[in-house]
Structure 1
Amino acid sequence: MDALKTMWETVPPATPDDLAGARRRLLAGMHTRRRVVTAPRLLVAAGVAAAAATAPLIIATGPPAYAVTKGPDGTITVTVNELRDPQGLQKELGEAGIKADVTFLAQRMRCASPRFASVDGAYDGPPAAGSEDLKARTKGWRSVKAAQVISVREIGIHPEYIKTDETLVLEFRDNHNATRPWQLGAWLAQAGTPVKPCTPVEGDN
């Protein structure tokens, strides 16, 4: 810093004539530049400026935690890559026309019941004794038709099975398994009835 300070102090001050000459040279240089800049160059410059203005400040390096897409037939596909930000997913579903309550749970956890009044069977009923028992119990349930797992990380939501003001309750439980990352519980709460916040408790495997 002392060396820089000394250097600046040794620069002699400019005289009025020096300043006037520098101003003339600057203006002359500007006029010269204007003559050589052609229309195509101006368009390129404008394009570069527009690209810089619209370029994202942060570039994502991986898939988003979730995504909500709506197909031409009205079916909504929800992709869940990471159990993070359930409120964000809930908001996006609302923007897609689905009144939802979304909860992400740790492994071997579930929400304490009762949370809501289901349109189908009791939410807090006894666990099924297997897939066949589950199918038999839920046969004809609108909840099952409204939300279905369609792939390892995707569920399909069918709005035609959800009546006005009913809430689609979605509970994702971490499975700690790359090939089957989560388990889903999906129910429809009766129209106009509240859905209580989830209180996580230990559940079945």
Structure 2
Amino acid sequence: MTAIQNESTPATRRRRLLRPAVLAPALGLAAAAAVALPLMFGGTPAYAVAENPDGTVSITINEAKDPKGLEAELQRMGYNIVVDYLPAGKKCATRPRGSTWLSKEQAPLAVFPPTSEDFSGFQIDPAQIKPGQTGVLEFGVNDNAEPGGVIAAIWARVSDGPVAACELVDGNAPLGEGEE
């Protein structure tokens, strides 16, 4: 009988699920690593966005790509802003893109000069965009300068309503043409 008891089958181990308190920090570290690793190996994000203490927003564009990512970031921050990059030789097909545009004096979306002397990007004042209005940032891109393009011009205005999507067509219209 003693021999039979010693030869019993080993108990199967139950798999335990990690508790949320353990799982959440691990997932957070994984997400941070997904962002940090490309940067550690020489990658640079296409853009950076930071809210300033005075309510303005600083935007730095490191590479002229991913305008919809920049737009999504601004919208996640609560700002109704449309972002478009217009390569050299292209313009938006729909002109004007909105029905009523506020003048630069009525709604100065772009902050110039920037409030910080050592800042190399540009700043906007999202407080200029009231409920029902849409901010528009159009960037003229000189895509022959270097890989990813270089921003050659910025047009920042506020529409008193919705804005049509930018469908790129051939043309060299100035930024914001037809929207005065």
Question: For the superposition of Structure 1 and Structure 2, which TM-score range results when normalised by the shorter chain?
Answer: 0.5 to 0.7
C-alpha distance in 2 between matches for 1:153 and 1:88? 20
Per the alignment, residue 129 of structure 2 pairs with 162
Per the alignment, residue 102 of structure 2 pairs with 120
1:171 aligns with 2:138: yes
Per the alignment, residue 66 of structure 1 pairs with 47
- Report if aligned partners of 1:110, 1:203 keep a CA contact under 8 Å in 2: yes
Indicate how the Cα distance of structure 1 residues 119 and 182 shifts in structure 2: closer, same or farther if over 3 A, else same.
Answer: same
Q: TM-score, normalised by structure 2?
A: 0.62
Per the alignment, residue 78 of structure 1 pairs with 59
1:96 aligns with 2:96: no
1:146 aligns with 2:109: yes
More strand by share: 2
Unpaired segments ≥5 residues, structure 2? 1-24, 175-180
C-alpha distance in 2 between matches for 1:118 and 1:77? 26
C-alpha distance in 2 between matches for 1:170 and 1:59? 27
Residues paired across the two proteins, number: 137
C-alpha distance in 2 between matches for 1:165 and 1:154? 27
C-alpha distance in 2 between matches for 1:152 and 1:181? 16
1:158 is displaced (CA, Å) by 0.9
Based on CA coordinates, which of the two structures has the bigger radius of gyration? 1
- Report if aligned partners of 1:118, 1:187 keep a CA contact under 8 Å in 2: no
C-alpha distance in 2 between matches for 1:64 and 1:165? 31
- Report if aligned partners of 1:153, 1:181 keep a CA contact under 8 Å in 2: no
C-alpha distance in 2 between matches for 1:195 and 1:76? 21
- Report if aligned partners of 2:88, 2:172 keep a CA contact under 8 Å in 1: no
Q: SS where residue 59 of structure 1 aligns?
A: helix
AA aligned to 1:181 is I
C-alpha distance in 1 between matches for 2:162 and 2:68? 17
- The match for 1:110 among 72, 91, 106 is 91
Q: SS where residue 93 of structure 1 aligns?
A: helix
Unpaired segments ≥5 residues, structure 1? 1-49, 122-137
C-alpha distance in 1 between matches for 2:119 and 2:49? 15
- The match for 1:199 among 155, 167, 172 is 167
Indicate how the Cα distance of structure 1 residues 169 and 181 shifts in structure 2: closer, same or farther if over 3 A, else same.
Answer: closer
- Report if aligned partners of 2:64, 2:151 keep a CA contact under 8 Å in 1: no
Q: SS where residue 88 of structure 1 aligns?
A: helix
Q: TM-score, normalised by structure 1?
A: 0.56
1:171 is displaced (CA, Å) by 0.9
Per the alignment, residue 151 of structure 2 pairs with 181
1:68 is displaced (CA, Å) by 0.8
Q: SS where residue 63 of structure 1 aligns?
A: coil
The structure with higher relative contact order (CA 8 Å, sep 6+) is: 2
